[in-house]
Amino acid sequence: MIRSVVIVGGGTAGWMTASYLKAAFGSRIDVTVVESAQVSRIGVGEATFSTIRHFFDYLGLDEADWLPKCAGGYKLGIRFQNWRRPDEHFYHPFERLRMVDGFSLAEWWLALGDRSVPFDRACFITSALCEAKRAPRMLDGSLFVAGLDGPLGRSTLAEQRAQFPYAYHFDADEVARYLTAHATRLGVRHVVDSVEHVALDERGWIEHVVTAGHGPIAGDLFVDCTGFRGLLINQALGTPFESFLDVLPNNRAVALRVPREDAVEMSPYTTATAMNAGWMWTIPLFRRNGNGYVYSDQFIDPEEAERELRAAVAPGRDDLPANHIRMRIGRNRDSWVNNCVAIGLSSAFVEPLESTGIFFIQHGIEQLVRHFPDQRWDPATIAAYNERIARAVDGVKEFLVLHYRVARRDDTPYWKEAKNRPAPDGLDERLALAGSRLLDEETIYPSYHGFESYSWNAMNLGLGHVPAEPPAALHHLDPARARAEFDRLRAEAREMVAALPSCYEYLAKLNA
Ligand code: FAD
């Protein structure tokens, strides 16, 4: 019987894992987190997926309590700025496409749409809410979409049926602190100390970790949450790391935390702005923006990237410290080896263009619970875990490569090169197909990776990869119902913009 789990690392990954295992197994499993006071957390990771809701609900944590304590804000989607042409933008929202007569509104937009109204504005309500900087909740707390409110209970990603309309922005350090307090209250042992050595037995399994001040700490299962260093999984166990830099060459980031003067203008979306040699995130928290430039050092050096970032978001604020980060892009060949499972940056990471880091953590934890080992350490269970994790990461990789392949921008060497990079297997066929018809659940990347077909279509159409013709059947179907649906959507959007408070107004109330 597995009785004790030792988690090394106290970043978002370590504390999410500890809290979740305690919520799942209670006192049947002892959980220890060993966290170094010398090695700091990565200090970024502020935008999430809408499915993060399953995680907080599983833990029984209430948004009204934790969100204000973590400087949080709402995220209705991602605004892609300048990816086609300067001063153009489109949204990738958390919103499925409505269907009319078996065809999505996007297909109807190809048939009937006034192409001067961009696809995202015509087919999603969320675009209007983003433009108007609206909160997704009324001042009385009710959600703008009917029927989706109320806690999900102890449910998982696999049980997601409806598309919840928002995710969060938050201060990742505050979330780690919040979860530390929560998990230790539930009985997680917290050891603030550095692991100096990982002791293996004669089979190569981890026997214990040796800390500087607390001596050896033994356990049955070890979870490596030590970030990019992969102290247990890579350094001690020698698991190979497979780089994705051949297809996703951005290997560095520089981040700035910028106080926001005009809180009223707080945006309910992440912005990803195309830059000369990469792209920049803007993540509005309650009182500041998180900003960062993600780039490839083949095309720009760190000093120049910092200058470009400062000029864009904090001119005259040279006092704000910049955080330069080297990113390890790719995944372990196996994330679970012997009695060690890697979760977080130690397992896999792709550039944060679609905010997938914390999603990978959530997915990894849920899969660990599903595949939890017993004393047999069944190799088939371990292999199944590894396959699920690898497929999810590979799916996101492919989806991100699509962003660069399809982006129209080609005015710098970086953007010219982006069109000619190799593609992961399967992407070229999918893009060829998407040139003549929209993708569906059968034609996107085939395994679970967190993105549905609407996301693939939102990116293709938003970036300008638009089929010339709609499905031929639409020429023979009565368009009246589709026209009525477009009208209904426009009217709902107008009503919601009028009725909902601004994002700042709602959050100010929550923070009061
Ligand atoms: P870290 O935060 O690096 O934590 C490592 C922990 O290990 C620390 O507590 C450290 O003290 C401990 N440790 C290290 N060595 C030892 C030792 N010897 N002994 C004991 N403890 C040790 N994700 C998103 O979902 N959305 C985003 O918008 C997003 N943006 C990102 C932007 C960038 C530039 C980067 C690099 C990542 C981003 N991520 C994002 C990913 C996200 O930041 C991480 O997934 C998340 O913070 C988890 O990090 P971690 O806990 O794995 O590692």
Domain ranges of the chain: 4-463
Q: What number is the average pLDDT over the span 135-162?
A: 93
Which tokens is 361 given? 């953590």
Stretch 178-183: mean pLDDT: 98
Cα–Cα distance, 398 to 408 (Å, whole number) = 18
Q: How far is ligand 1, taken at its centre, from the CA of residue 227, in Å?
A: 5
Q: How confident is the model at residue 332 (pLDDT cuts 50, 70, 90)?
A: very high
Ligand 1 atom nearest the C-alpha of 292 is 34
Residue 222 φ then ψ, to 5°: -115, 135
Average pLDDT over residues 344-366: 98
- Which contacts of 105-109 are long-range, i.e. CB under 8 A and separated by 24 or more positions? 105/482, 105/485, 105/486, 105/489, 106/438, 106/454, 106/457, 106/461, 107/438, 107/470, 107/471, 107/474, 108/470, 108/474, 108/479, 108/482, 108/485, 108/486, 109/486
Please report, in angstroms and rounded to a whole number, the separation of the first and last CA atoms in the chain: 48
Confidence of residue 113 (pLDDT cuts 50, 70, 90): confident
283 Cα nearest atom in ligand 1:
28
Q: Give residue for tokens 């409505």.
A: 98
Task: Identify the residue whose tokens are 């499915």.
Answer: 51
Give residue 262's pLDDT: 62
**Rg for the chain (alpha carbons), in Å?**
23
Structure tokens at 121: 């504005």
In testing the pocket of ligand 1, which one of 17, 179, 226, 248 has its CB within 8 Å of the most ligand atoms? 226
What is the Å distance from ligand 1's center to 12 Cα?
A: 6
Q: Is the pLDDT of residue 43 over 90?
A: no
Residue 369 gets the label, from left (phi > 0), alpha (psi -120 to 50) or beta, of alpha
Q: Are strands 30-35 and 167-169 parallel, antiparallel or unpaired?
A: unpaired
**Signed CA dihedral, 113, 116, 119, 122: sign only:** negative
CB of 173 closer than 8 Å to CB of 285: no
CA distance 260 to 284: 8
Q: What's the 395 CA to ligand 1 centre distance in angstroms?
A: 21
CA of 226 relative to ligand 1 center, distance in Å? 7
> How close is the Cα of 17 to the center of ligand 1, in Å?
13
Q: pLDDT: is 86 or 340 the higher one? A: 340
75 is catalytic: yes
The distance of Cα 360 from the centroid of its chain, to the nearest Å, equals 8
Place of tokens 């981040």: 255
Distances, alpha carbon 109 to alpha carbons 91, 149, 273, 296, 472, in Å = 16, 30, 26, 36, 13
Q: Which of 16, 19, 39 to mutate to test the pocket of ligand 1 (most atoms within 8 A of CB)?
A: 39
Q: Best of 17, 19, 33, 41 to mutate for ligand 1, by most ligand atoms within 8 A of CB?
A: 41
Identify the DSSP state of 205.
-
Residue type (1 letter), 39: V
Residue nearest to atom 33 of ligand 1 (CA): 44
In this predicted structure, the answer to whether residue 301 has a pLDDT above a threshold of 70 is: yes
Q: State the pLDDT at residue 217.
A: 98
Please give the model's pTM, rounded to 2 decimal places.
0.98
DSSP 158-180: GG--S--S-EEE--HHHHHHHHH
7/467 Cα distance (integer angstroms): 49
Residue nearest to atom 34 of ligand 1 (CA): 253
- Residue 456 pLDDT > 80: yes
Residue 275 belongs to what H/E stretch? strand 270-275
The number of beta carbons lying within 10 Å of the beta carbon of residue 35 is: 24
Q: Which DSSP letter does residue 228 get? A: G
Contact 222/236 with Cβ under 8 angstroms?
no
Rounded distance from Cα 171 to ligand 1 centre (Å): 13
From the list 75, 397, 419, 509, the catalytic residue is 75
Alpha helix ranges (H) inside 39-104: 52-59, 63-69
pLDDT at position 63, please? 95
Q: Long-range pairs for 473-482 at CB < 8 Å and ≥24 separation?
A: 473/103, 474/103, 474/107, 474/108, 474/110, 474/111, 474/112, 475/111, 477/101, 477/103, 479/108, 479/111, 479/112, 481/100, 481/101, 482/100, 482/101, 482/103, 482/105, 482/108, 482/111, 482/112
Residue 77: phi and psi, rounded to 5, are 165, -170
* 235 DSSP 8-state letter: I
Which ligand 1 atom minimizes the distance to the CA of 255?
34
Q: CA-to-CA distance for 95 and 269, rounded, in angstroms?
A: 13
Q: Which of 279, 225, 290, 269 shows the shortest CA–CA distance to 248?
A: 279
Q: Which residues line ligand 1 (CB under 6 A)?
A: 8-14, 34-36, 39, 41-42, 44-48, 172, 194-195, 225-227, 229, 231, 253, 292, 325, 327, 344-346, 352, 355, 357-358, 361
How many other CB atoms sit within 10 Å of the CB of residue 492? 14
Provide the β-strand partners of residue 168. Answer: 74
Give the bridge partners for 192, in sequence order.
35
Atom of ligand 1 nearest to the CA of 327: 36
Separation of CA 441 and ligand 1 centre (Å): 32
- Protein residue closest via CA to atom 53 of ligand 1: 227
Tokens of 25: 């197994």
Cα distance between residue 439 and residue 460, in whole Å: 9
Looking at the CA of residue 44, tell me the nearest atom of ligand 1. 43
The average confidence (pLDDT) of the chain is 96
pLDDT above 80: residue 424: yes
pLDDT of 91 higher than 80: yes
Give CATH for domain 4-463: 3.50.50.60
* Atom number, ligand 1, closest to the C-alpha of residue 226: 7
Task: Give pLDDT tens digits for 220-268.
Answer: 999 999 999 999 999 999 999 999 999 999 999 999 999 987 656 899 9
Band (151; pLDDT cuts 50, 70, 90): confident
Q: What 3-state DSSP class applies to 326?
A: strand
pLDDT given for residue 154 in this prediction: 94
Please state the separation of Cα 263 from the chain's center in Å.
24
Quick one: pLDDT at residue 115?
79
